[in-house]
Chains A and B, each alone.
Chain A
């Protein structure tokens, strides 16, 4: 099943966990690891919210492109979210294994 971009903010944070990236690099990375295509508006909508929430921060622009990186608060939030997902995933897998 092809994953959908239901959680663009989470996908962006996972992408930035491997290092700072600008918008187009994030789109390509998300497509590569999740198979989800984020539109430019969806990407910047989520990026704006993450930036406002202090979970990502802009770096100095490279030409007209501006890379972003996870802040320490963003990394902590990502760890917490992935931990919750891992717990839900393991419970879900265990339950379907018994069916």
Chain B
């Protein structure tokens, strides 16, 4: 398989494991064909090691910290993908706001047929509402660093986010959309409008 895919699969394992076995494991993966069974086995095993490390950190005192860290892996590309995922929802909401809140002449007539079609399908409706949540996860996950450690009987969980301007844009856009849907749903629930 390609060195790029091998490096990605090595990242399924926690950093402590990668420091010890990462280089030789990547060399082994590069020697193997990228068949679905090889990739699935590597992902499953990596996640199993992460799971064991996490449960050790939660159950044992004074053990090494478990760190979930994607190391800013392709953060800009993921931020861009997040914006693309959130774009259809953004466009639909922006057009609705222009038509009904700002009152741009002729806009309501123009978008009504499209809205009828979109709202007629539950799947598309759910997709438009779920897209901001998915976009937020796609944008933030690559720059998130989560560290869990249990020491002297106390559990310490630390978050850190590595700054990326485009990630911030994608995260803020997603959060605004999520907030809009939350407020809209709450208003509907409380006032039935």
User: In the complex, which of the residues A22, A23, A45 contacts B48, with contact meaning CB atoms closer than 8 Å?
Assistant: A45
- Asked if A24 is an interface residue, CB under 8 A from chain B, the answer is yes
- Asked if A79 is an interface residue, CB under 8 A from chain B, the answer is no
A61 — nearest CB in chain B belongs to which residue? B24
Residues of B within 8 A of A (CB): 17, 21, 23-29, 31-32, 37-38, 40-46, 48-49
Main secondary structure of the interface of B (DSSP, over half): helix
B37 cross-chain contacts in A, Cβ below 8 A = 39
A40 cross-chain contacts in B, Cβ below 8 A = 25, 28-29, 32, 38, 41-42, 45
Q: How far is the CB of A98 from chain B (nearest CB, A)?
A: 41
B37 — nearest CB in chain A belongs to which residue? A39
Instruction: Give 13 A-B pairs besides A41-B42, A44-B45 with Cβ atoms closer than 8 angstroms.
Output: A23-B28, A40-B28, A40-B32, A40-B38, A40-B41, A40-B42, A40-B45, A41-B41, A42-B41, A43-B28, A44-B25, A61-B23, A65-B27
Q: Are B41 and A66 in contact (CB under 8 A)?
A: no
Q: Are A48 and B21 in contact (CB under 8 A)?
A: yes
A44 cross-chain contacts in B, Cβ below 8 A = 21, 25, 28, 45
Q: Are B24 and A22 in contact (CB under 8 A)?
A: yes
Residues of A within 8 A of B (CB): 22-24, 39-45, 48, 61, 63-66
Q: Are B24 and A39 in contact (CB under 8 A)?
A: no
A43–B49 CA distance with the chains assembled, in angstroms: 13
Given the contacts A24-B31, A24-B32, A48-B17, A39 and B45 also touching, CB distance less than 8 Å: yes
